Structure 1
Amino acid sequence: MISVIPDLSLQPVSVKEQEKLFHLMMKIYRPVYQHLWFDDGTSYVASQFNLEQLQRELSTPSVCYYFVHFKKEPIGILRFLKGSTTSAIKETNTTKLHRIYLDPSVHGQGIGKALMEWLIAFSITQDQQSIWLECMDTQMAAYHFYKQLGFKTVEAFTLDSPTMRSEMRGMLRMKLNLNNS
């Protein structure tokens, strides 16, 4: 267990906890993102949090994958990849924030900010030059949250996802430069 701040900790996700991960994501993903999908997001959760996908993700050495615990209860997940690149990011020693999902019941309590501050500090200790992420251009709360943390948009693109409503496929690739001095 990694302590982020009092009452907030990270517990590594393991393959044996796939069912726990799946049920948590069914609970917390769909209330926030169901409007994006033709089927309320069920197929997305099934495709991203099944046993085979989890095994594949955890087999990558650069992956850090955690349950987020608040007051000892699992309330979300945090997944990032150290040394992950994309064509829009020039550095090779950069971290991709791949997933940060929190239960809607804890939104607005500073948990997301605490997790991001922890990730920034951790990435600096790993000699990463930047953190980048992909944010949906229709999720304005998330966009403004990342912008307040200092992330800047470096590229816009469209997801190729047939189960997602076409008007919701717009994405922004955002980057935060880290001061590694």
Structure 2
Amino acid sequence: MPPKNVIFEKLSSAHLQELQALSRSTFTDAFGDQNNAEDLQAYLDSAFNEEQLKIELLNPLSEFYFAKLEGETAGYFKINLGDAQTEFKAEDAMELERIYIRKEFQNQKIGQKILDNVIEMAIQRKMRYLWLGVWEHNHRGINFYLKNKFEVTGSHPYMVGNDRQTDKIMKLFF
């Protein structure tokens, strides 16, 4: 059972520094061991630099949220609508682009709480499906989404520095 006391805080540009630090640390914790240091650093510098995150935070079709447990930031997620989606860009689809939990908060069902919340957001917005990309070597993530009734519907390339990787595209239809 997911913890009931997780709350979600919608972010604004005022949260930029905390979001940047959290983005860099959670991505490194999740994938640092599986990527070479140069490619990892190049990815962190491009995806999570201040200017890039500011653009994303100011996009009205993207939303970032912190997941807080007992007042402490446990993780975050980002959703994209319409033209902000990295693919498909369908008006009746929503992308879950990022979902990351800090290492010390893992295995507490916070990811499940976030996903349940995102699914509810998609349903309330009358979306036909929710979709995401998950690295093909992230077996824990893939199994998590399969357990939550997502289907693998395709794949696409994803660059981490100069390393061309493959994400599985997974969709949950409503």
Q: CA deviation at 1:113?
A: 0.8
Alignment of 1:1-181 (within 5 A): 6-39=4-37, 41-83=40-82, 84=85, 86-87=87-88, 92-164=91-163, 166=164, 169-178=165-174
Instruction: Give the AA of the match of 1:124.
Output: I
CA shift for structure 1 position 5 = 6.1
Q: Structure 2: 5+ residue runs without aligned partners?
A: none
Greater share of helix residues, 1 or 2?
2
Seen in structure 2, the aligned counterparts of structure 1 residues 70 and 163 have a Cα distance that, compared at 3 Å, is: farther
Q: Contact (CA 8 Å) 1:132, 1:174: kept in 2 or not?
A: yes
Secondary structure at 1:131 match in 2: strand
- Under a length normalisation based on structure 2, what TM-score does the superposition of the two structures give? 0.86
SS where residue 159 of structure 1 aligns?
strand
Deviates more, 1:98-107 or 1:10-19: 10-19
State the SS of the aligned residue for 1:121: helix
Give the letter aligned to residue 170 of structure 2: M
Q: Residues of 1 paired with 2:69 and 2:138: CA distance?
A: 24
Q: What is the aligned length? A: 170
| Structure 1: 5+ residue stretches without partners | none
1:141: how far off?
A: 0.1
Q: 1:85 to 1:27 in 2, by over 3 A?
A: closer
Q: Is the 8 A contact 1:26 1:42 kept in 2?
A: no
TM-superposition CA deviations, 1:19-45 (whole Å, max 9, x none): 212222333221221033321733322
User: Tell me, what secondary structure is at the counterpart of 2:8?
Assistant: strand
- Shift in Å, 1:156: 1.9
Could you list the runs of 4 or more consecutive aligned residues of structure 1 that deviate by over 6 angstroms after TM superposition? Answer: none
TM-fit CA distance, 1:128:
0.7
* Percentage of matched positions with identical amino acids: 21
**Alpha-carbon RMSD:** 2.2
SS at match of 2:37: coil
SS at match of 1:109: coil
Could you tell me whether the CA contact under 8 Å between 1:130 and 1:175 is conserved in 2?
yes
Separation (CA, whole Å) in 1 of partners of 2:20 and 2:13: 11
Q: CA deviation at 1:116?
A: 0.8
